Chains A and B, each alone.
Chain A
Amino acid sequence: MSDPYSGRGNNDASIAKPGPRSELAGAADGTAKPAPGAGPFLSGAGMTGGYGKGPDILHDCTIAVDRGEIAVIVGPNGAGKSTAMKAIFGMLDLRGGHVSLNGEDITALSPQNKVRRGMGFVPQNRNIFPSMTVEENLEMGAFIREDDIDATMEQVFDLFPILRDKRDQAAGELSGGQRQQVAVGRALMTRPKVLMLDEPTAGVSPIVMDELFDRIIEVARTGLPVMMVEQNARQALEIADHGFVLVQGRNAHTGTGKDLLADAEVRQSFLGG
């Protein structure tokens, strides 16, 4: 028996609440230190590592976003796009590389402390509190704030007007696109210094996807750096200032969105010609 604390196949929901185990609980926590040199606002440089004691998924992978920019991470399935973003956020064990935010090396900080330093993260799945109302979801997003949150909530409602109408409805009852808006809104409630989105358009219709992209551009225009992982490479690169194409956990191509869209090799391998 390798793990004496595993469930040994128990599925009895009447004695133990089912659901995935927490990915974040018990994450290592350290302190931040000044980063050498002036780099981009948020960067994960030369990251190598994987989940727990498992094999490396990322190999010397670098992704970054600077002030007022949108950075997009694209690549084929299983390229480690989401993993790279989670690595920046401290959700896997890095065996090499550094994460820096605003001139500080924050590699060793736990995800919770990274949130307190101003990183807003929207996970791909399970990114809302389903049984709570939209308004309560936003309130919980602002949990770490001590000041008045009404103004920020108004801004989120201005950005996503549909949420204002549904503020008293349970978030779990909303449509896929509306849930994503709640998820992004929740992350914005902390007034983050950088916003990280893990496939915000997964599982929504093309029309909703276009609208979500418009909203994300709107957010970025306010000066908030946005880093996102996207499946829809073409649309994402069109709005990107910087694009990172990952293949098997390594940087394959890096450049501005326009350059990557024009690059013959990128077009052929990832964008369908």
Chain B
Amino acid sequence: MDLINAIVALLNFVLIPATAYGAQLALGALGVTLIYGILRFSNFAHGDTMAFGTTITILFTWLFQSMGISFGPLPTALIALPFGIAGCALLLLMTDRVVFRFYRAQKAVPVILVIVSMGVMFVYNGLVRFIIGVDTQRFADGERFIISARDFKEMTGLDEGLALKSTQAITLVVAAVAVALLFWFLNRTRTGKSMRAFSDNEDLALLSGINPERVVMVTWLIVAALATIAGTLYGLDKSFKPFTYFQLLLPIFASAIVGGLGSPVGAIAGGFVIAYSEVMITYAWKKVAGYVLPESLAPDSLAQLLSTDYKFAVSFAILVVVLLFKPTGLFKGKSV
């Protein structure tokens, strides 16, 4: 019985939250890795791109709520999501048009574009704060739990409760659909294949008649979709705060690099590696250990390796270790 309680506690506090967080990171890392593979630079504005897409989604969510439109038990934000994606895509295409395209025409090397993306990051940073402010926004509505801890306890008679938030389930389902669509697009459609060709060998792609500006445009559109979905899911699951999204940049980059930059499969794997490490290292294991270990060995302290305030140190440490010992990442990124 104690063992079952331990497993339930582990599921409730570690595995389920980490899986949802991992899916959110994976979607973010996919966007980073796509830009790296096709536009050849690391886009530091990605966190704020997510914040902008989420901002637009929230505005539309409020609009729909005020109009009395709802999605039944599901959050209204899911109806607003396509509008958020469209707004984000518009912003990215405009940015590409007025900023990045200039540097492509100058044949600027990728590292210049990295610095440029930092400038873009600051602009988006300000833009989001102008529109929605710096405060925390909660926009999740609909059913909060699929299984609440109390129902679970009553159902099973266990001491430990298992809660499955609807936002966690939605995160997993939406992320799975988005990833499946992305892989189908990249591997099966003509445009998707032309993007992979461009990422593989730019000059040969040009010699095959692939239009680079079109590849770049489609890339930004996909990135806008991935970033807005990732940001909205994160905001639904936790809450929306512009500064948090800026901070998400670190775990997202860590995910993309751990998986191998340029490799979409790697980005997904990296997202989960980072999420599980972060949650497991900052989780207080006292409760689980109390169930599993004999009483004499049960820890007195919280058995928490790092305070949650330091969770970014985890992704940073993993990033450094990967760059030192396996710089190509788990899935052999194209380079690094």
Which A residues are within 8 Å of any B CB, using their own CB?
5-8, 10, 12-19, 21-26, 111-112, 115-116, 121, 123, 126-132, 136, 139-141, 143-144, 186, 190
Does B200 count as interface, using CB distance less than 8 angstroms? yes
Do A21 and B204 contact each other (CB < 8 Å), given the known contacts A16-B42, A131-B196?
no
Q: Known A14-B261, A22-B206; judge A130-B200 contact (CB<8 A).
A: yes
CB <8 Å contact, B257 and A14: yes
- The answer to whether B97 has its CB under 8 Å from any CB of chain A is no
Is B209 positioned at the interface, with any CB of A under 8 Å from its CB?
A: yes
B residues 105-123 near A (Cβ < 8 Å) are 105-114
Q: Which residues of A contact B190 (CB under 8 A)?
A: 139, 143
CB–CB A10/B109 < 8 A:
yes
User: Is B335 a contact partner of A18 (Cβ separation < 8 A)?
Assistant: yes
Secondary structure class of chain A's binding surface, majority of residues: loop
Among B42, B104, B114, B196, contact of A132 (Cβ-Cβ < 8 Å): B196
B204 touches A129 (CB 8 A): yes
A135: shortest Cβ distance to chain B, in Å? 10
Tell me if B111 and A15 are in contact (CB < 8 A).
Answer: yes
Bound: A49/B243 CA distance, A: 54
Q: A14-B323, A15-B111, A129-B200 are in contact. Are A5 and B106 (CB under 8 A)?
A: yes
Chain A residue with Cβ nearest B211: A112
Contacts of A17 in B (CB 8 A): 36-37, 40-41, 110, 261-262, 334-335
User: For the complex, what is the distance from the CA of A127 to the CA of B207, rounded to whole Å?
Assistant: 10
Residues of B within 8 A of A136 (CB): 193, 196-197
CB of B208 within 8 A of CB of A16, answer: no
Q: Is B176 among interface residues, defined by CB-CB distance under 8 A?
A: no
Q: Measuring CB to CB, which residues of chain B are less than 8 angstroms from any residue of chain A?
A: 36-37, 40-42, 103-114, 190, 193-194, 196-197, 200-210, 212, 257, 261-262, 323, 327, 334-336
Residue from B113, B204, B208, B257 in contact with A144 in the complex, judged by beta carbons closer than 8 Å:
B208
- Please tell me if the beta carbons of A21 and B206 are within 8 angstroms of each other in the complex: no
B218 smallest CB distance to A (angstroms): 14
Q: Cβ of A129: which chain B residues have Cβ within 8 Å of it? A: 196-197, 200-201, 204-205
Q: Give the complex CA separation of A238 and B201 in angstroms.
A: 34
Closest chain A residue to B193, Cβ basis: A136
Q: Contacts A16-B42, A123-B207, A144-B209: A25 and B202 contacting too (C-beta < 8 A)?
A: yes
When C-beta atoms are compared, the residue in chain A nearest to B38 turns out to be A17
Q: Are A15 and B201 in contact (CB under 8 A)?
A: no
- Give the dominant DSSP class at B's interface: helix
Closest B residue by C-beta to A144:
B209
A12, B111: Cβ atoms closer than 8 Å: yes
Which of B37, B111, B334, B335 contacts A10, CB < 8 Å? B111
- A11 to B113 Cα, complex, angstroms: 14
Known: A16-B114, A128-B201. Contact between A143 and B208, CB under 8 A?
Answer: yes
Asked if B103 contacts A5 (CB within 8 A), the reply is: yes
Contact status B193-A126, CB under 8 Å? no
Chain A residues contacting B103 (CB-CB under 8 Å) are 5
What residues on B are CB-neighbors of A141 within 8 Å? 208
Query: Which of the residues B40, B196, B207, B334 comes within 8 Å of A16, measured between beta carbons?
Result: B40
Task: Given contact pairs A5-B109, A10-B109, A26-B107, enumerate 5 new A-B contacts (beta carbons under 8 Å).
Answer: A111-B206, A130-B200, A140-B193, A140-B194, A143-B210
Q: Are B212 and A126 in contact (CB under 8 A)?
A: no
Whether A16 lies near B109 (C-beta < 8 A) is: yes
Tell me the nearest residue of chain B to A141, going by C-beta: B208
B261 contacts A7, CB within 8 Å?
A: no
Inside 8 A of A16's CB, which chain B residues have their CB? Answer: 40-42, 109-111, 113-114
| Ranked 7 nearest A-B pairs via Cβ | A16-B110, A144-B209, A5-B108, A7-B109, A17-B40, A10-B111, A129-B200
A39-B112 Cα distance, complex, nearest whole Å: 46
- Given the known interface contacts A10-B109, A131-B334, the answer about A143 and B209 at a Cβ–Cβ threshold of 8 Å is yes
- Shortest Cβ distance from B35 into A: residue: A17
**Interface-central residue, B209, B257, B323, B327, by most chain A CB under 10 Å:** B209
CB-based contact B107/A115 at 8 Å = no
Chain B, Cβ-Cβ closest to A145: B209
| A116–B206 alpha-carbon span in the complex (Å) | 11
Interface centre among B106, B201, B207, B210 (most CB of A within 10 A): B207
B203 partner residues in chain A, CB cutoff 8 A = 22-25, 123, 126
Could you tell me if A7 and B112 are in contact, using CB atoms closer than 8 angstroms? Answer: yes
Cα distance, A6 to B108, chains bound together (Å): 6
Instruction: Say whether, besides A16-B110, A131-B334, A115 and B257 are in contact (CB < 8 Å).
Output: no
Contact flag A15-B41 (CB < 8 Å), given A126-B203, A140-B194: yes
**Complex CA distance for A79 and B259, rounded to whole angstroms:** 45
Q: A140-B194, A143-B209 are in contact. Are A126 and B204 (CB under 8 A)?
A: yes
Contacts of B110 in A (CB 8 A): 7, 15-17
Give the chain A neighbours of B262 by CB distance below 8 A. 17
The smallest beta-carbon distance between A168 and chain B, in angstroms, is 12
B41–A130 CB distance below 8 A: no
CA distance A15 to B32 in the complex (A): 10
Q: Which residues of B contact A24 (CB under 8 A)?
A: 202-203, 206-207
Complex formed: what's the CA distance from A115 to B206 in Å?
A: 9
